[in-house]
Amino acid sequence: MFRTAIRLALLLVSVGALTGLARGGPRWSRGPDGRISVEPAPVERRFQNADWPKDWEQGFWDRANYVVAQVARDGRYGGTYFEQEKRSYGWAMLSVLGGFEEPAMRFLQAEDPMAQQWNKHTLGIDLFPCFTLKQQVRKYFFFGGAMEPEYRERMKRAAGIFTEKDPLGRPHYAYAGKSGWGPDAKNSWVDVRSTDNLKLMRDTSVYLFAEESGNEEVRRLYKDHLRRFVVTMYYQGMGEWDSENYLGHSIAPMLNLYDFAKDPEVKMLAKAALDAMAAAAAVKYWRGGFNGPTCRDYNHPYPFGGSAAALTWLWFGDAPARPEQFEADEIHLITSAYRPPQAVVHLARKNFPRPKEVIAGKPRWAAWRTPDDAAPTYRETHYFGRTFQFGTLARGTQNPDVNGFKILVYSRRRGAETIMAAPTDEPLRLGSPQYQEGILASHSAVGQNGNMAIYLTRESDKPYLFLVPESAEIIERGGVTFVRCERTTIALWPINLTPPRLDRERTDRVQYEVRTDREGREERRPRWTGSKILAARRRAAGHYGFAIEIDEGNAERFIAAASNIRPETGEVPVRGAAAMTAVSGRRVRLQWGDTLAAVHIWRDGRLRDWDSPEELVAYRTLDGELIDQSWQGDGTLRVASGGKTFTCTVTPDGRVSFEE
C-alpha cells in the first residue's frame, strides 16, 4: 500500500531479519538495528486520508519504536482473568513486535483461567469482557498468522458460536445471581456494560467476529448499532465526550473496525468515527498535555496523564517529553493503517494563528440512546493563546465526573503544565469528584470571555483549591494573587474569598503517595511532583469564587496593571452576580444559576443565548475557521488548520463522504 513503501523505506531490512512474513496476513519486521516496521492490513485508497508528509511518518515510527522498546519483554505480561487482558494482551502483542515472539505468542494462546467455568461454550476462548474482546480482535486478525493453526481455527470456530445469535443478553449457563460484572452476575454471553468506550469494544468486536463467521443476521444487527453511534457523533457528539481517561479506549476498537471490516459501508463509518475522535482529541491536546473541559476526568494533571494524550501522542507528537506509562492500546495505533487528516494533526500541534476561541456543545450521557436531543447538555468555551490553553464549562466542574475548569501553560521541559481550580477540600479530586459524593460544592457557574473568566459557587463550606505548577512563582499585590509561570502570568481576584496561598499539607498529598510495606515501614512514592496547591476560604455568607485573567506578555507590566483592577462584586451576596473588565479590555458579567438555563453570561455586553443558532453547535470557531460542526445540522465536521482543510459528512442513514 501507499504507506507501506514509506515505512519500509525507513530502514533497510535483510530477509533474515523478517518475522511474521511467511505465515501470510499482516506483517512486521525488525531491522539489524532493531528498528520495527509494520505492514498493516490492506485498506483501499478510497478509505484513507491524504498521505502524511515523510517527516510526519518518520516521526510516527520514531515514537512507535520508542513505545515498543519501553514495553517489550520476554514474559511477565500479567494475568488473563476476566478483563486483565485489557493490558496483558497489549503488552504481549507489543512484545511480539519487539522481538519476543515465542514467549509472547505462547502467552496469547494460553488457556484462559475461566475456560471451563465461563467459556466452555466458546471452546475455552474468552469472549466475554469488552476490554478482552477488543484485544482478542487484534490478536486474531493481525497476529493470527503467527498462531498455531489449531489455535487459530479454534478461535474462528469460537467466534462463529459466539455470534450465532446476539450474544448480548443471551442466557449464560454460569449465571448464579451473583454480584459483579461476569456472566455469573449478568446472565449474558457478552459484557453488558455500555459506557461509550465499552459499548464500542463490544459492538465492533461482535460485528467483526460475525462478519468473519458469516453470521449475517448478527452482523447486520451490529452494523445498525455502529451506524447509529456514528450518526449520533456527527449530529451531536459522544456522550463520553473528550474523556482524558477513556477517549483512547474508544479509539482503539474503532481502529479494529477500520482495519479489519470487509463491508465498505462499515469501514467508512469506522473512518468517520476515527476522524471525529481525532479532531476532538486535537482540540484538547497540546505538547503532551490534555486540556479540559472533559467528561469522565480521572484526575491526571500532568503530561500524558490519561489515555487520550498518551495514545494520541503517537499521532500528534510535538512534545519535548515522552510518556513513561502506557495503556497497552498503543498496539492498535502501531499496527493500523489509519492516519488522521493533516488538518487535524495541525490542529493538535496548534499550527494556526493565535489567539483563537471556540465554543462547543456536548451531549448528555449515552447520546446514542437520545440521538434527537434538541440542544447540548454542556456548554464549553475554549481559548487558544500562544503560550496557554484555557477551557471551561458554563457550570464549572460538576458531579459525578466532569472537569469544567482547566488550563495548560507552556513548559519548555515538560511540554504543558496543568492548572485547575474547584470548590473542594480534596486536592486529589480537583479534576472531578470521580463519582464520590460530598467532595465538590454543588452548583457552580463560570463565565469565560477569551483569556478571562469569573467562577462563582453557591454558599458552601468547601474551600477553593488551585493546582498550579510547582515551579510557578506566587506573588500577592494589591489584593490580587499572581501565578507567574514560565511564559504565562495568571491573575486571581478573590470574590468573597481569602487570597489563595500555598497549602503545604495538601501540596505534600498531591506530590507524594505514602504507602506502608509488609514490615510497617512507610514509603513515599512520587505522585504529581510537578504541582503544588493553593487554598482559599469563603470569607462571609453567600456566593464565593474568583475572577481570573491569563496574560502572555510582559509579566511586570501585567502585574502592575492587574493590581489596580477590582471585580464588581456588589451583587454577589444578594444575586450571585459579578462582573469585571480585564487588563485586556475584555469584559464578562456572570449571573450564577443552579441550572444551565439560569446561568447568564454577558461577554463584552452581549448575553449568551443558549437557544440561539450561534450557541446550538457542536463546535463553532468565533473568529474565522478552525473547527466547526452544527448541532442536529448537516452532519458535517469541518477542520481548517496549517493551511489544510478537511470535511467529513455523515448522512442520517449513515452514508459517509469526506474531502481533504
Q: What is the pLDDT of residues 621-632, one digit of tens each?
A: 999 999 999 999
For residue 134, pLDDT over 80 is answered with: yes
All cell numbers assigned to 606: 452581549
Tell me the pLDDT band of 8, cut-offs 50, 70 and 90.
very low
Rounded distance, CA 542 to CA 523, Å?
42
3-state secondary structure 148-180: CHHHHHHHHHHHHHHCCCCCCCCCCCCCCCCCC
DSSP string, 265-293: HHHHHHHHHHHHHHHHHHHHEETTEE-S-
Domain boundaries, the chain: 2-344, 377-501+530-607
Output the pLDDT for position 34.
85
**How would you class 266 by CB atoms within 10 Å of its CB: exposed for 0-12, middle for 13-18, buried for 19 or more?**
buried
For residue 280, pLDDT over 70 is answered with: yes
Question: Alpha carbon of 149 to those of 142, 144, 589: distances in Å?
Answer: 14, 9, 69
434: alpha, beta or left, given left = phi > 0 and alpha = psi -120 to 50? Answer: left
All cell numbers assigned to 393: 464549562
Q: In this prediction, what percent of the chain has a pLDDT beyond 90?
A: 93
Cα dihedral sign, 319-383-300-526? positive
The model's pLDDT over 389-415, given as tens digits with 9 standing for 90+, comes to 999 999 999 999 999 999 999 999 999
The model's pLDDT over 524-569, given as tens digits with 9 standing for 90+, comes to 999 999 999 999 999 999 999 999 999 999 999 999 999 999 999 9
The model's pLDDT over 41-73, given as tens digits with 9 standing for 90+, comes to 999 999 999 999 999 999 999 999 999 999 999
Q: In this prediction, what percent of the chain has a pLDDT beyond 70?
A: 96
Residues 286, 289, 293: CA angle, nearest 5 degrees: 90
For residue 81, pLDDT over 90 is answered with: yes
Question: Alpha carbon of 502 to those of 107, 168, 264, 467: distances in Å?
Answer: 50, 52, 58, 10
Tell me the pLDDT band of 375, cut-offs 50, 70 and 90.
very high
Output the pLDDT for position 214.
98
Cβ neighbours of residue 110 closer than 8 Å, sequence gap 6 or more: 80
Cβ neighbours of residue 490 closer than 8 Å, sequence gap 6 or more: 407, 409, 419, 468, 482, 483, 484, 548, 549, 550, 551
For residue 148, pLDDT over 60 is answered with: yes
Rounded distance, CA 351 to CA 563, Å?
34
Q: How many Å is the maximal CA-CA distance in the chain?
A: 79
Higher-confidence residue of 26 and 617: namely: 617
**Residues counted in the chain:** 660
Residue-averaged pLDDT of the chain: 95
Query: In this structure, are residues 547 and 454 in contact, taking their beta carbons and an 8 Å threshold?
Result: yes
Rounded distance, CA 150 to CA 58, Å?
38
Rounded distance, CA 443 to CA 457, Å?
6
For residue 14, pLDDT over 70 is answered with: no
Question: Alpha carbon of 433 to those of 17, 438, 516, 631: distances in Å?
Answer: 51, 9, 26, 29
Task: Provide the 10 A C-beta neighbour count for residue 119.
Answer: 22
Which residue in this structure is represented by grid cell 475522535? Answer: 277
Rounded distance, CA 310 to CA 304, Å?
5
Query: In this structure, are residues 438 and 481 in contact, taking their beta carbons and an 8 Å threshold?
Result: no
For residue 326, pLDDT over 60 is answered with: yes
For residue 5, pLDDT over 50 is answered with: no
| pLDDT average, residue stretch 368-395 | 97
Q: What percent of the residues of the chain are helix, what percent strand, and what percent coil, each to the nearest 5?
A: 35, 25, 45
Query: In this structure, are residues 196 and 246 in contact, taking their beta carbons and an 8 Å threshold?
Result: yes
Query: In this structure, are residues 280 and 241 in contact, taking their beta carbons and an 8 Å threshold?
Result: yes
What are the CB-based long-range contacts (under 8 Å, 24+) for 558-561?
Answer: 558/489, 558/491, 558/583, 559/475, 559/477, 559/482, 559/484, 559/489, 559/491
Query: In this structure, are residues 445 and 460 in contact, taking their beta carbons and an 8 Å threshold?
Result: no
Rounded distance, CA 192 to CA 543, Å?
43
Output the pLDDT for position 24.
55
For residue 179, pLDDT over 80 is answered with: yes
Output the pLDDT for position 18.
36
Question: Alpha carbon of 246 to those of 195, 281, 549, 629: distances in Å?
Answer: 10, 11, 31, 22
Rounded distance, CA 284 to CA 277, Å?
11
Amino acid identity for residue 523 in this structure: E
* pTM (two decimals): 0.96
For residue 311, pLDDT over 80 is answered with: yes
| pLDDT average, residue stretch 155-160 | 98
